[in-house]
Amino acid sequence: MTLNEFIESALQVEQSLLLEAVEDLTPEELTWQPAPDANPIGWMLWHTIRVEDMWVQFFIQGQTEMWERDGWHQKFGLPTRDNGFGHTPEQVANFPALDLQELLRYGEAVRNGTLEYLRGLSPEDYEIVPRERRPELTVGKVLRQLLAEFYQHQGQIAYLKGLKRGSGALPPTYSTPG
């Protein structure tokens, strides 16, 4: 298995777990906050997708993010340069309720862009520093950070779903897809 194949497989597992956690959420569950300064599921899902878009499209490739380029920000009525970093508790609490299916379509587009980019990487590409202002961040380190963030937020989302619904909300065991 190549490094590209390993990363793609990890992204597929993460995507499967994430979709399982969010596929049947109600609009109320997407905006529910267990505490005033806690992030709701909808905000975390949006933030996770936005971060992937920002890191892969803009930071690594130097392209306009799909959020702006493909008009996703207009579909959601949100600013072009917003991805949730630095949001105050008030901004999170006032974050609009987004349509889950539309958000998942945006996520699918972003993931397809990520996979397309990933499949074209050579082993040497992982050592490239895409931004001179951030010499500590190679392509490989950005992708490692993305995987960590995906799994972290996917776990938080699943936990919040279980917290909101109770103990029967999640499957009893974890199984690796295909």
For the cut 80, the answer to whether the pLDDT of residue 14 exceeds it is yes
How is domain 43-164 classified at the architecture level of CATH?
Up-down Bundle (1.20)
d(CA 75, CA 109): 14
Average pLDDT over residues 125-151: 96
Distance, CA of 157 to CA of 174 (rounded, Å): 15
Question: Is residue 133 over pLDDT 60?
Answer: yes
Q: What is the mean pLDDT of residues 93-109?
A: 96
Domain ranges of the chain: 43-164
Can you give the pTM of this predicted structure?
0.91
Q: How confident is the model at residue 171 (pLDDT cuts 50, 70, 90)?
A: low
Is the pLDDT at 175 greater than 90, yes or no?
no
3-state helix, strand, coil in the chain (%, to 5): 65, 0, 35
How far is CA 34 from each of CA 19, 91, 100, 120, 176, rounded to the nearest angstrom? 21, 16, 20, 42, 29
**What number is the average pLDDT over the span 101-130?**
97
Q: pLDDT per residue over 56-69, tens digit each?
A: 999 999 999 999 99
Confidence band of 87 (pLDDT split at 50, 70, 90)? very high
Higher-pLDDT residue of 154 and 168 is: 154
Using CA atoms, how far apart are residues 81 and 88, in angstroms rounded to an integer? Answer: 16
